[in-house]
Chains A and B, each alone.
Chain A
Amino acid sequence: QQQVKQSPQSLIVQKGGISIINCAYENTAFDYFPWYQQFPGKGPALLIAIRPDVSEKKEGRFTISFNKSAKQFSLHIMDSQPGDSATYFCAAHTSGNTPLVFGKGTRLSVIA
């Protein structure tokens, strides 16, 4: 049973365009939603995260949009650059000792 569903699996975006990756969850106890960026040969690294008390969080070109009623959250990358080409994972967490639950990842390619 996949607790966090991520789409699309892969995404190709033109340089300067907007990249959008979506995630959906079922467990309403989730209270923390991070996004990770992973480059080839490296471990995932925290990119940006949000808690459900806000609907949007922006850090530079990266924005998380959160829709609590729809149980969905998404990552938007504005002005996408070739250096943004990586695999992106969404995740969700409940408070306490429980580990993060990850989506299956999206491979983003930004082409010039």
Chain B
Amino acid sequence: DAGITQSPRHKVTETGTPVTLRCHQTENHRYMYWYRQDPGHGLRLIHYSYGVKDTDKGEVSDGYSVSRSKTEDFLLTLESATSSQTSVYFCAMSGDRDTAGTFGSGTRLTVV
């Protein structure tokens, strides 16, 4: 309904395994973002994209990679999940005339 969806909504994975989270938008927005939310830390930017194949690091990018091969999809990959990556992950999108942006509903990831 908000034009942005995240999948999966919940995931439990084991330490050391690769994990990919998907963000899909239907608004043709140029900018997409991945954040993680942890108690006491608020929202911290992991990576963001300002166009197809154009990405940049945020403040907590270590251990994460992203890819954007199409405008509508932004993938976040944890190459080898660690317990410190247990968190709630939010994707967001924004356009040139929509600075505030729209957030997805989040993915709760637990690494055991």
Contact = CB atoms under 8 A, between A and B. Distances in A.
Q: Do A and B come from one complex?
A: yes
Contact of B90 (A34, A43, A103): A43
Contacts of A93: 99
Nearest to A47: B100
Contacts of A49: 99-100
Main secondary structure of the interface of B (DSSP, over half): strand
Given A42-B105, A43-B90, A102 B43 contact: yes
A75 to B, nearest CB: 14
Given A43-B90, A44-B90, A104-B40, A99 B45 contact: yes
B50 A97 contact: yes
A78 to B, nearest CB: 22
A53 B41 CA distance: 30
Interface residues of A, number: 21
Contacts of B90: 43-44
Interface in A43-99: 43-46, 49, 89, 93, 97, 99
A4 to B, nearest CB: 9
- B interface, size bucket: 20 to 34
Contacts of A46: 100-102
Contacts of A11: none
Given A89-B43, A99-B33, A104-B41, A34 B103 contact: no
A43 B106 contact: yes
Interface in B19-46: 31, 33, 40-45
B33 to A, nearest CB: 6
A102 B42 contact: yes
B58 interface: yes
Contact of A43 (B40, B58, B104): B104
Nearest to A96: B50
Given A99-B48, A99-B58, A43 B42 contact: no
B24 to A, nearest CB: 14
B55 to A, nearest CB: 11
A34 B33 CA distance: 17
